[in-house]
Amino acid sequence: MIKHFIYILITCLVLTSQANAQKTLWASKVIEFSSERKTPIHLAQLAGESYKASQILGEPDIYPGSQGSSRAWTPQKTDKVDYIKVGFAEAIQIQQIAIAESINPTAIWKVYAYDESGKEHFINEFTPRSIPLKGRILNIFTDLTPYKVTAVKVEINGKTVPGYNGIDAIAISDSQTPIRIDMKIADGIYKSVQAQKLSDSINSPYKDLKPLLTPDGKTMFFSRVGDPENIGGANDLEDIWFSEKNSDGEWLKAKNIGTSLNNKGPNFICSVTPKGDGYVLLLGNRYLKNKMTQGLSIATQTKEGLSGIEPVIIENEENFSPFANYYLGINQQIIIMSVQRRISIGGRDLYVSFKQENGHWSTPKNLGSTINTIDEESSPFLAADGKTLYFSSKGHLGFGGSDVYVSRRLDDTWTNWSTPENLGPYINSADDEIFFHLAYDSKYAYYTRGNGEDADIYKLELPAYELPDPTVEINVKVINKNTQELIPEAKLVVYNKSMDIAEWRPSTDNSGIFDFIIPKGYAYEIFAKASQFLSVDTHQIDLTRVYESDTLEYVLHMTPIEVGERVPLDNIYFDFDKATLRDESIPQLNKVIRFMEENPKVTIQLDGHTCSIGSKSYNQKLSEDRAKSVMNYLLKEGIKKKRVSSLGYGEANPIASNQSETGRVKNRRVEFVITNK
């Protein structure tokens, strides 16, 4: 047996980062184990896949010194000698083994390392005994091993330390710099802010889950498990309840919402999204005649009442977990979901699905490994800015159970996110914090805290942490230029010029009126689309400037497609005295391409015009060249030659006086005429 010089460092709370030269590997696979504690079925919704050997993989889930949680390998019995053997992604010579204990620490008895041939090497033996610690990281140091380590086995002696014992993570390192844990906490958290448990008007002796406020903040929906007043009685898995505020701003005694949304199956609201004077309810499960099936439903609440409940169709929909969470974005074009699919990184992962032209939803796209872990991510809430995501996770470093985290979307791929930040110990606890929701008045957040046996609803003042970006409400009417009537079939395109991100179309109730929210700090362009209509104008919205109002109103005109209809191409720019298109012209020309792609029978003639400066012959040639330049761009981008022609008119057809520079600018233009529809 090779003898190593060994010394030990116990770390309870450490914050500094690792030295750059240190190589640290956390366990990447479980090789074998003696037993694992089973999760009671009645705790599964809050506890998830807890206590399993797989919980030991990766970095610690629980901050050292936090109250122990189920996110650790825990043996089945409390009075036995148990063991677990883990492997690492790479074989290295080591000077250190670190063991993160998060449940009843100090039961560790023996530690072994294994080389590339599988030979066992004794590292150290301890005397298990009870000490008053919630958790710790045990750093075991040794001389540099002459062999490369591929695996580590840890034995614990439960006979000497009463109660369950749990190991959160195991690491090896080639350095004697102590392996330490650094948790990223969201900025702006104040110790003076504490989560408040709501009164018994809302909370009950049963599980109260999923708090959601209506846009006016006057009604709270939530779900309740096990209440005898549920439609299916005390054995009903879940019913929707609600409470309303009185004139003093206090919540009235909650009531079961009744058979309009509740039946004997599991009933819950996933999200409440503003729409006009009402709101959209995204409902868990599909409502079928006399039964419920897995999936989603949607309904709209207006002054007239609740519309019919319709199924939400998601392409390639699947979920291998008995639980799921969903959230409909404020633009009603995306759904964030927590489900377990074949491609999930761990248990339930977070995915995004996009609304399609046919009203169905795209195949869910995994948000990626920055957000998702080998454990469970749940309860997504996407703020009104469309990029600030709050969610609960058992897999990121936390204080116990499921903690609430915040991350920000960095681009339009939906897979590039900032590192999730824990909302800190004044919000998170050793219990599960789930179903985090920001009220639309931006004054409070609401969420559920529970431990599996019980769950209650809490509220929190928003100044406790970083808020999402401020937003502006946009109201748009799409009008037929000829009749001045609304165009019910119109769709709206919003383009973020600052970030050059993909377009999205806020939904409408087929009225031609659009109400939606976009974040401040960016420049946007909006225009309308409709079958057999041309978009006459666009609006530039520069939200990098300060607006006194939080609501902006616009009117967009469209004209019916008719042969002979003449459409000016605004924002087409050429170098001075040349026919070379400038880059600023491309977005406008791309709109022409989209129009022709959406109307494949339409043919057009591009007409070039100039002002009167210069000779007539020169201006004639310049107008022809500029019209051809635009035509050539369309041809290059795939428009067939038989669908487009060009003509130059020189200075012959002014639309303004050539006596002023303003008039001359208007006369230097390219427009197109519809020659066939």
Q: Tell me, what's the pLDDT at 536?
A: 74
Locate 584 and state its tokens: 């600023």
How far is the CA of 255 from the CAs of 11, 230, 241, 251, 416, in angstroms?
A: 49, 10, 5, 11, 42
Task: Give the total residue count for the chain.
Answer: 677
How far is the CA of 443 from the CAs of 185, 279, 346, in angstroms?
A: 21, 20, 34
How far is it, in rounded angstroms, from Cα 64 to Cα 62?
6
Q: Tell me, what's the pLDDT at 7?
A: 42
Give Cβ neighbours of residue 353 (< 8 Å, ≥ 6 apart).
Answer: 314, 315, 334, 335, 337, 361, 362, 363, 364, 365
How far is it, in rounded angstroms, from Cα 420 to Cα 35?
32
Decide if 598 contacts 529 (C-beta within 8 A). yes
Q: Tell me, what's the pLDDT at 12?
A: 40
Locate 497 and state its tokens: 């010029």
Prediction pTM value = 0.65
Phi, psi of 631 (to 5 degrees): -60, -45
Decide if 346 contacts 369 (C-beta within 8 A). no
CB environment 410-436: b (16+ within 10 A), e (fewer): eeeebbebbebbbbbbbbbbbbbbbbb
| Angle CA 214–220–224, to nearest 5 | 135
Locate 197 and state its tokens: 């448990």
Domains located in the chain, CATH noted: 7-173 (2.60.120.260), 196-464 (2.115.10.20), 470-560 (2.60.40.10), 563-677 (3.30.1330.60)
Q: Tell me, what's the pLDDT at 272?
A: 95
Phi, psi of 527 (to 5 degrees): -150, 165
- Name the stretches of the chain with pLDDT < 50: 1-20, 42-47, 464
How far is it, in rounded angstroms, from Cα 513 to Cα 515?
7
Report how far apart the first and last C-alpha atoms of the chain are (Å, whole number): 89
Q: Tell me, what's the pLDDT at 542?
A: 85
How far is it, in rounded angstroms, from Cα 363 to Cα 317?
7
Give Cβ neighbours of residue 298 (< 8 Å, ≥ 6 apart).
Answer: 280, 281, 282, 283, 309, 310, 311, 312, 328
**Which DSSP category does 636 fall into?**
H
CB environment 323-354: b (16+ within 10 A), e (fewer): bbbbbbbbbbbbbbbbbbbeebbbbbbbbbbb
Residue whose entry in the numeric block shows the structure tokens 């043919």 = 603
The sign one gets for the Cα dihedral 182, 186, 192, 195 is negative
Phi, psi of 284 (to 5 degrees): -70, 140
Q: Tell me, what's the pLDDT at 503?
A: 61
Q: Tell me, what's the pLDDT at 257?
A: 96
Q: Tell me, what's the pLDDT at 154?
A: 97
- Give CA 648 to chain center in angstroms: 51
**What 3-state DSSP class applies to 398?**
strand
Decide if 571 contacts 582 (C-beta within 8 A). no
Q: Tell me, what's the pLDDT at 492?
A: 84
Bridge partners of 355, per DSSP, are 361
Decide if 559 contacts 479 (C-beta within 8 A). no
